A and B are shown apart, each in its own frame.
Chain A
Amino acid sequence: MDMQNIEKISLIDKDKLSEEFYFASLIEEAFHNHLLLGTEIETLQLKCLELLAEKTERFTDGESSSVPVEVAENIYKSNLYTIGLYLKSLSCPDDAVTILKQVPLSELYVRGRKQIETKLKIAKHLHIVVMKNIIETDQYAYRSTVIGGIKGFFKLYNADFGAHEIHITVDYPLCNKIDQLVGIEFIIKYLESVYYENMFCNCFSSDFIHHLLCGYDLGYRDLVFNLFEQVLTCAIGCTLLRKTALDLTITAIQVEQIYTLFSDKSKEEVEIIILATSHTLMKDLALTSLSLQTYLETAMHTIASNIYHAIKIDKLNRVFVSPNYPEANSHIHFSFGEKMDNDKYRHLIEEIIQCRYLSDKIAMIKREIKSLADLEDLFLDAELTSEETKVVLKELEVVEIAALAKQHFYRETESIDLDGKVIAFRLCLNDYIHSLSQEKQSAIAKAISMMNNNVES
């Protein structure tokens, strides 16, 4: 028999004690279990009042004998939280009651206060560790809470008069919600959870995470949701499909396959399958940390529940999202380049004008022209015929044609004010584009739309 695993039998049921209001719930349970008498509780109340009076005097620096009730209540809650923190650290609630009877309340407060100091140091260290394994993402809620918010907590936390408060809003939600904990205990638990979530997400490339989140919503940077839950759900989906989870890619067809897999399953069956899949995933990703494994197992309840409910309303594609690649629709930044020396350009134009054969002209253009800016000028100055112009245009890439078309879009209404050479070139370019295949025309149109106003001439 392993003697270390034997727990002392306690009259007070630990599960009935509140994490948030530990001191008050301990006294209540102790009273119900006849470990504390009514008179003993009254004495404790008076001691609490004495402690409150002492702390209030410190709060006002002895300058005011009265304070608003809200202020007194806050200090009172802070005192009880601090004492509760120490009592919670004792192995058995019955022992805590015994200590409560034997040790003065002010001494218990001092012990609790020391624990807060230790916990503050732990929290600060945890924050440093979390900052080292932070997920590379632009999601505002994540960055502002994990970086700025927690720093704000350390600045604002007042262990003397508001030990139970956290002051910050902690907007970024966790996958595994933290219930009941307050004050420094909440912050430690929050940072631990973020650390595990980061540890898991760091198994994947930040690019894949970004594309997955774009699939969730293109404006995900401004949304408040848990990143880890999305990554974990996708990874579980990939594992269910017996494919690598590392690329975080599930297609619409694969979502259908997952749907088929779960469509006739009960909630319990879904949970069992998901839990088993999570073990495979942990094995695949070589996640050996026991704490992380426990965290992931807890998260599986949320994931399984999400899947079960999504199947019920036929919205599984909102749980298993397919990645989106917004950069595929990004803008083209095009430059016409530097113009050549004026004398050299003039000399080239004269030669082209004097040249009899088109092939020679093409050869000269290919040899001497190095930028689209020069080519654009050449079209206007070299006195090329319409056919010659079209032959030169044929030598250009789609994106170059698009850049020229962007600059020289032919509109009859505008042509009145333009130079004859410009109108001739625009007409020629317009004819050339229309003579191309439909596929090329749409490629040029797409390139033009992607250029917006980014063309530099």
Chain B
Amino acid sequence: MAFELMNFNSSLIQKQAVNEIVKCNDYTAHFGLTLTQPQAIELVETRSFSLKETGRIEFGGGVIDKIIKAFCDSSYITMENYTETLHELIEMFYYYKNETLDLMSDDVLIEFMNTAFNGVCQGSLDLLSGRELATMARNLRFGHQPDYAEDDVLDEDEIEDEDEDGYAEH
């Protein structure tokens, strides 16, 4: 009988996670959003799939309830796209945990995703994943601040160059 980490039966953890998700309904109902038990199970399955895909392991209920509570007040989420959006956000979250080299805590990453989703992305998951999160992850990997923008620096340099050359005066 091998005593390996990956041999653990995780059904108990799954059950715990489903319960935590269903409990969130008490809070999200104020925003007209609720999840059924099967939908909660599906979300946990997505989490398991994402963890496996990204080579990560999670203990306890995980971050699904945190994601739900952070995004439920968004004006871009309705009952029609609620579960679908949550599935994508969960996948995105674990993918970018790896891409940011674990340099960002769960709470900060969810906060960043929420701000971008409701702000510049205007509810677009494609923009959130393909542009905002990708740029932020690259910035972190290169040792910059998450909101560092190369264009801003270029603009500043150009202004400085113009000042030095005296073009700005003309």
List chain A positions with a Cβ less than 8 A from chain B: 23-24, 27-28, 31, 38, 41-42, 45-46, 48-49, 52-53, 56-57, 60, 63-70, 72-73, 76, 80
Quick one: given A64-B102, A66-B58, A72-B57, are A45 and B8 in contact (CB under 8 Å)? yes
Quick one: given A28-B3, A45-B3, are A69 and B8 in contact (CB under 8 Å)? no
- Contact between chains at A64 and B97 (CB < 8 Å): yes
Q: Chain B residues near A64 (CB, 8 Å)?
A: 97, 102, 105-106
CA distance A141 to B57 in the complex (A): 40
Q: Chain B residues near A57 (CB, 8 Å)?
A: 59
Quick one: given A24-B3, A63-B106, are A53 and B8 in contact (CB under 8 Å)? no
Q: Is the interface of A mostly helix, strand, loop or mixed?
A: helix
Q: Chain A residues near B61 (CB, 8 Å)?
A: 65
Closest 8 CB pairs of A and B: A53-B59, A63-B105, A66-B58, A24-B3, A72-B57, A76-B5, A66-B56, A69-B55
Nearest CB to that of B58 among chain A residues? A66
CA distance A185 to B64 in the complex (A): 42
CA distance A80 to B8 in the complex (A): 15
Q: Chain A residues near B102 (CB, 8 Å)?
A: 60, 64, 67-68
Nearest CB to that of A26 among chain B residues? B3
- Contact between chains at A66 and B63 (CB < 8 Å): yes
Quick one: given A41-B1, A46-B12, A76-B5, are A67 and B56 in contact (CB under 8 Å)? yes
Partner of B5, one of A27, A60, A72: A72
- Contact between chains at A65 and B62 (CB < 8 Å): yes
Is B22 part of the binding interface, using a Cβ–Cβ cutoff of 8 Å? no
Contact with A along B95-109 (1 / 0, CB 8 A): 001100010011100
Q: Chain A residues near B105 (CB, 8 Å)?
A: 60, 63-64
CA distance A57 to B1 in the complex (A): 28
CB pairs A–B below 8 angstroms (12 shown)? A23-B3, A45-B3, A45-B7, A48-B3, A57-B59, A63-B106, A64-B105, A66-B57, A66-B63, A67-B58, A68-B102, A72-B5
Q: Chain A residues near B98 (CB, 8 Å)?
A: 68
- Contact between chains at A80 and B3 (CB < 8 Å): yes
- Contact between chains at B59 and A56 (CB < 8 Å): yes
List chain B positions with a Cβ less than 8 A from chain A: 1-3, 5-9, 12, 51, 55-63, 94, 97-98, 102, 105-107
- Contact between chains at A73 and B97 (CB < 8 Å): no
Q: How far is the CB of A320 from chain B (nearest CB, A)?
A: 48
Q: Of residues A31, A45, A63, A64, which shows the largest number of chain B Cβ atoms within 10 Å of its Cβ?
A: A64
- Contact between chains at B106 and A53 (CB < 8 Å): no
Nearest CB to that of B3 among chain A residues? A24
- Contact between chains at A69 and B59 (CB < 8 Å): no
Q: How far is the CB of A25 from chain B (nearest CB, A)?
A: 9
CA distance A64 to B2 in the complex (A): 29
Q: Chain A residues near B51 (CB, 8 Å)?
A: 66
CA distance A203 to B141 in the complex (A): 56
Q: Chain B residues near A68 (CB, 8 Å)?
A: 55-57, 98, 102
CA distance A248 to B153 in the complex (A): 71
Partner of A63, one of B7, B58, B60, B107: B107
Q: Chain A residues near B63 (CB, 8 Å)?
A: 65-66
Q: How far is the CB of B54 from chain A (nearest CB, A)?
A: 8
CA distance A80 to B4 in the complex (A): 10
Quick one: given A63-B106, A64-B105, are A52 and B59 in contact (CB under 8 Å)? yes
Q: Chain A residues near B60 (CB, 8 Å)?
A: 53, 65
Q: Chain A residues near B97 (CB, 8 Å)?
A: 64, 66
Q: How far is the CB of B14 from chain A (nearest CB, A)?
A: 13
Partner of B3, one of A27, A53, A56: A27
Q: Chain A residues near B1 (CB, 8 Å)?
A: 27-28, 31, 38, 41
Nearest CB to that of A49 among chain B residues? B8
Q: Chain A residues near B55 (CB, 8 Å)?
A: 68-70
- Contact between chains at A66 and B94 (CB < 8 Å): yes
Q: How far is the CB of A326 from chain B (nearest CB, A)?
A: 51
- Contact between chains at A65 and B59 (CB < 8 Å): yes
Q: How far is the CB of A82 from chain B (nearest CB, A)?
A: 15
- Contact between chains at A69 and B56 (CB < 8 Å): yes
* 19 additional A-B residue pairs with CB within 8 Å, beyond A28-B1, A57-B59: A23-B3, A27-B3, A31-B1, A41-B1, A45-B8, A45-B9, A49-B8, A49-B59, A53-B59, A53-B60, A56-B59, A64-B102, A65-B62, A66-B51, A66-B57, A68-B102, A69-B5, A73-B5, A80-B3
